Amino acid sequence: MSIVNSEGPQTATPISSLPVTVMPRSVGYWQSVWQRLCKDKVSMICLISLILIICASFAAPLLTSYDPAIGSVIKRLKPVGTEGHILGTDELGRDMLTRLLYGGRTSLIMGFVPVFLALLIGGSLGTFAGFVGGRVNAIIMRTADVLFAFPSVLLAVAIAGALGAGVGNALVALTIVLVPPMIRITESATTQVRALDFVEAARASGAGNLTIIRVHVLGNILGPVLVYATSLLSVAIIMAAGLSFIGLGAKPPTAEWGLMLNTLRAAIYSQPLIAALPGVFIFIVSLSFNMLSDGLRSAMEVS
């Protein structure tokens, strides 16, 4: 059984492929994870690429003097390499490099925020359901299953369409879509840990439930949850770009990669390179997060 909807754009990750490795999460453990990750050249290239893109996006005012919303009719669709516009201009004469940098800021926020909220909400509900079990588990998991009945993309479109266009509403829609799979993975991991001997030993020694969850459970489910959350970042960015592309995400003149793809559709025949640039950045970022997720899985020994 997969932990994501098979009809969405996600790469389905079977729960059985994310077993919990039981070991103390000490400082030394995280140092060893980092050392193993550093030996993975592909993961490090992806990590460095993401850091550069993230830093450049949020430092956009320092890297360019152009306004992302102001263009010039006489400078429409200038080709890549034009003097003063290294990546050309868009359909309204706005500097493409500036738009890509500011658009990266919006796209990354629309990717990180839903995953963080899904991790917070879904992780809490999944951990609670897995630890308590019984009727509480059944109620939480069957509620999550209701949302699984809908294809992820269609559910996001339906929610965003009902709420109306805008970045805030798109964030709400994406969070609702990503919470159920996060519940599923944390519930599965917590159920595995709950049945282990050291949890029973902690309970027999008089430790309370909150202490057991905080000390023994969370530390041991962090590996698979963190790996899965990293893979969800690429999904969230692609879905956010899709919502903006169909007019349910960022609204003009906001710079956002999905919205830029939409507005540059008419330029695909006259300036195909410029029209493809937002898609190239979406591809690089989503691929980097996926490859980094695979690297983390290996480094954390989550097989």
3-state secondary structure 136-183: HHHHHHHHHHHHHCCCHHHHHHHHHHHHCCCHHHHHHHHHHHHHHHHH
| Phi, psi torsion values for 223, nearest 5 degrees | -60, -65
What pLDDT, on a 0 to 100 scale, did the predictor assign at position 207?
A: 75
Domain span at residue 239 reads 37-299
- Within a domain: 203: yes
pTM of the model: 0.86
- Within a domain: 154: yes
Tell me the pLDDT tens digit for each residue of 169-224. 999 999 999 999 999 999 999 998 888 888 778 778 877 778 888 878 888 888 88
- Asked whether the beta carbons of 241 and 106 are under 8 A apart, the reply is no
- Within a domain: 284: yes
Residue 223 token pair: 């590996």
In angstroms, the CA 261 to CA 271 distance is: 13
Tell me the pLDDT tens digit for each residue of 292-303. 999 999 988 765
In angstroms, the CA 239 to CA 181 distance is: 15
Q: Across all residues in the chain, what is the average pLDDT?
A: 87
150: domain CATH number is: 1.10.3720.10
- Within a domain: 27: no
What pLDDT, on a 0 to 100 scale, did the predictor assign at position 13?
A: 44
The structural domain count of the chain equals: 1
- Within a domain: 25: no
Indicate the length of the chain as a whole number.
303
In angstroms, the CA 186 to CA 144 distance is: 12
- Within a domain: 7: no
Instruction: Answer whether residue 147 shows pLDDT above 60.
Output: yes
β-strand partners of 2: 14
Residue 22: pLDDT band by 50, 70, 90 thresholds? very low
Cβ contacts of residue 19 below 8 Å, gap of 6+?
Answer: 192, 224, 302, 303
Tell me the pLDDT tens digit for each residue of 32-57. 888 999 999 999 999 999 999 999 99
Instruction: Answer whether residue 10 shows pLDDT above 90.
Output: no
Residue 219 token pair: 């530390």
- Within a domain: 100: yes
Residue 240 CA, distance from chain mean position: 10
Reference 57, options 104, 95, 107, 98; nearest CA is 104
- Asked whether the beta carbons of 261 and 178 are under 8 A apart, the reply is no
- Considering the chain, what percentage of its residues have pLDDT values greater than 90? 69
Q: Which of 117-121, 210-214, 252-256, 277-281 has the lowest mean pLDDT?
A: 210-214
